[in-house]
């Protein structure tokens, strides 16, 4: 596919200066904010963040600074800034991608006003897509691709739509008012809302192109065993839904591997692992809304310093991206790299299921609040082109109820909801298990080049509400990274994640930023893990960290068990 080929030239790496303030480092009182009242947006206002002069006035009576993430000034997009690394001989070098992710720019902009929907569009499972709906989908995608030829500057075209994802996650924009600080929609609480709006306009554009306002995108229900293979609709080379830049070993009937453990060949174990992972990211790993949605992200925050995606984003979401991406090229195009992911039509079907996970999580009974009552979150905003080619601003607050966006999801079973690992009948023999092992302070900082086992002290004996904190995880942004964590694992079966001893994982998809490295903390809840392993009245535990992918690109600063933060 000629339009997807890129050339490379050497480029020196010069990271942007980082903000002195890190995300989530300080508490800000809740505030009451309002936009600019709709209508046209004045250019002066745009340079301040498209209506970004928010007032201060806390509902708690405290003065507060309004710091929502603002949409970028599209006129400042850097068309040449996309960089990554590739292997040349025995060395890694920074290279420039000859790809322009910048969308068309116009001064004619305004706030988006949601239509009133009297009937909801129904998004079907891709595995149960009716012939009539599949035919409409293929026709709409073909017309979107045709725009690349007939009018390459049409923002509704296939390449222009794909570039939206690249533009918002691969560094062409600085945050308005914060020069040198990347704008990034991943690894924070903006992840779900941004992609929900993205799919909303994408879906409406496809419907507009075929004159069918009822058109709805399908979703790839990879969380259900019946959907744990690539949907047949996307595996036809003659179809507008096909992309040649995929892992050819993962075409049908290959079973999805959300854990990215290439050593597993048994489809039964793959499915069991997938269900166990889904249960952890949707249920047992989530103790607060931020656990699921991702860390706080406010204007001026460096998105590559202690910003971490929620359990679903860094779990099944990243797993599918990496599983579909093509290992035949260094960049893992298309799905396996943020900048190119939107160039595969399956991206949108995948993200429809990611969005569906948000709607399902919102309905799972829990003892914590799932409402983020924070105006910096609700007033964060993005820019999109609608189906009429109008450039519009949207806010997170307007997409929190997906039904107000005029769609719903066809029901599909969620067997993972009952996939809690069986409890160990007898606790591990810590004395025997810890024999000869070093303590954590002797191991860290750790370059994760091989599997490591070590002893970590507990702050309290018994089944205290605790969490495992991996601190200062420094990663190479250009690499796909995955490691798993186990506790008191006597069996040493790292391929099996459907066991009580599995604690959680860290996964990173390759992405381009001007800074080569990111720094994160990973917090894994231990309440249910302690119950599962039937932990004894020990004052320490044995932790095992297993690097699966690019462990040599990871350094972990430290590890400790902490008291779990109060639920919100």
DSSP per-residue codes, 468-535: EEEEEEEEETTS-EEEEEEES-SS--TT--SSTTEEEEEEE-----SSSEEEEEEEEE-HHHHHHHT-
Catalytic status, residue 304: no
Catalytic status, residue 384: no
Candidate list 127, 165, 178, 350, residue with the active-site label: 165
DSSP per-residue codes, 259-317: T--TT---HHHHHHHHHHHHHIIIIIT-SSHHHHHB----TT--TTBS--B-TTIIIII
Candidate list 191, 215, 234, 338, residue with the active-site label: 338
Read off φ and ψ for residue 249, nearest 5 degrees.
-75, -10
Task: Report the SS3 class of residue 362.
Answer: coil
The torsion of the CA quartet 560, 566, 567, 568, rounded to 10 degrees, works out to -120
Q: Are 474 and 557 in contact (CB under 8 A)?
A: yes
Q: Which helix (H) or strand (E) holds 320?
A: helix 318-324
CA distance 402 to 197: 10
Candidate list 127, 195, 350, 402, residue with the active-site label: 195
Residue 317, marked binder: yes
Residue 511, marked binder: no
Residue 165, marked binder: yes
Candidate list 178, 304, 350, 351, residue with the active-site label: 351
Burial class (CB in 10 A: 0-12, 13-18, 19+), 245: buried
CA distance 196 to 192: 6
Neighbour tally for 163: CB within 10 Å: 24
Is the bond preceding 516 in cis, omega lying within 30 degrees of 0? no
Catalytic status, residue 511: no
Q: Are 311 and 280 in contact (CB under 8 A)?
A: yes
Q: Are 164 and 384 in contact (CB under 8 A)?
A: yes
Catalytic status, residue 117: no
Count of all residues that appear for the chain in the document: 568
Candidate list 321, 350, 402, 511, residue with the active-site label: 321
Neighbour tally for 5: CB within 10 Å: 8
Candidate list 127, 304, 317, 511, residue with the active-site label: 317
Catalytic status, residue 321: yes
Neighbour tally for 114: CB within 10 Å: 12
Task: Report the SS3 class of residue 93.
Answer: strand
Task: State the SS3 of 100-159.
Answer: CCCCCCCCCEEECCCCCCCCCEEECEHHHCCHHHHHHHHHHHHHHHHHHHHCCCCCCCHH
Residue 195, marked binder: yes
User: What positions carry a catalytic annotation?
Assistant: 165, 186, 195, 317, 321, 338, 351
Which parts are annotated binding residues? 165, 186, 195, 317, 321, 351
Which parts are annotated binding residues for Cu cation? 165, 186, 195, 317, 321, 351
């Amino acid at each position: 596919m000629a339009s997807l080929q890129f050339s490379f030239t050497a480029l020196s790496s010069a990271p942007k200066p980082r903000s002195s303030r890190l995300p989530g480092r300080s508490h800000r009182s809740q505030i009451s904010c309002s936009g600019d009242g709709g209508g046209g947006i004045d250019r002066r206002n745009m340079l301040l963040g498209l209506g970004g002069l928010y007032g201060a006035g806390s509902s708690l009576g405290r003065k507060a600074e309004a710091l929502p993430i603002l949409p970028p000034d599209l006129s400042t997009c850097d068309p040449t800034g996309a960089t990554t690394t590739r292997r040349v001989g025995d060395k890694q070098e920074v290279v420039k991608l000859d790809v322009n992710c910048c969308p068309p720019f116009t001064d004619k902009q305004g706030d988006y006003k949601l239509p009133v929907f009297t009937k909801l569009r129904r998004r079907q499972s891709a595995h149960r897509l009716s012939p009539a709906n599949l035919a409409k989908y293929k026709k709409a995608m073909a017309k979107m691709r045709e725009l690349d030829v007939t009018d390459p500057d049409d923002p509704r075209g296939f390449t222009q739509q794909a570039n939206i994802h690249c533009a918002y996650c691969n560094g062409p924009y600085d945050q308005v008012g914060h020069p040198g600080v990347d704008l990034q929609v991943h690894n924070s609480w903006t992840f779900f809302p941004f992609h929900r709006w993205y799919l909303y306009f994408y879906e409406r554009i496809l419907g507009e192109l075929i004159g069918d306002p009822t058109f709805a995108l399908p979703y790839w229900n990879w969380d259900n065993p019946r959907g744990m293979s690539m949907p047949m609709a996307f595996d036809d080379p003659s179809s507008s839904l096909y992309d040649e830049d995929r892992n050819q070993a993962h075409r049908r009937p290959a079973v999805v591997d959300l854990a990215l453990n290439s050593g597993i060949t048994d489809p039964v174990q793959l499915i069991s692992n997938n269900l166990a992972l889904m249960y952890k990211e949707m249920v047992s790993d989530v103790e607060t809304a931020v656990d699921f949605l991702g860390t706080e992200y406010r204007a001026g925050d460096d998105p590559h310093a202690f910003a971490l995606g929620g359990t679903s984003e860094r779990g099944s979401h990243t797993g599918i991206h990496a599983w579909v991406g093509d290992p035949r090229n260094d960049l893992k195009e298309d799905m396996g790299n943020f900048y190119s992911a939107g160039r595969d039509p399956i991206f949108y079907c995948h993200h429809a299921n990611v969005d569906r996970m948000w709607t399902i999580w919102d309905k799972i009974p829990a003892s914590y609040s799932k409402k983020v009552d924070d105006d910096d979150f609700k007033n964060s905003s993005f820019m999109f082109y609608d189906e009429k080619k109008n450039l519009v601003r949207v806010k997170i607050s307007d997409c929190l109820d997906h039904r107000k966006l005029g769609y719903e999801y066809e029901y599909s079973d969620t067997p993972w909801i009952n996939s809690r690992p069986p409890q160990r009948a007898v606790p591990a023999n810590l004395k025997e298990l810890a024999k000869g092992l070093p303590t954590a302070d002797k191991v860290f900082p750790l370059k994760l080049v091989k599997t490591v086992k070590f002893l970590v002290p507990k702050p309290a004996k018994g089944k205290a509400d605790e969490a495992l904190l991996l601190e200062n995880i420094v990663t190479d942004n250009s690499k796909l990274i995955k490691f798993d964590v186990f506790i008191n694992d006597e069996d040493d079966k790292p391929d099996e994640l459907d066991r009580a001893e599995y604690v959680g994982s860290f996964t990173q998809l390759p992405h381009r930023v001007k800074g080569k490295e990111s720094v994160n903390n990973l917090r894994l809840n231990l309440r249910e893990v302690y119950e599962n392993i039937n932990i004894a009245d020990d004052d320490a535990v044995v932790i095992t960290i297993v690097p699966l992918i690019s462990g040599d690109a990871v350094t972990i600063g430290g590890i400790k068990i902490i008291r779990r933060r109060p639920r919100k």
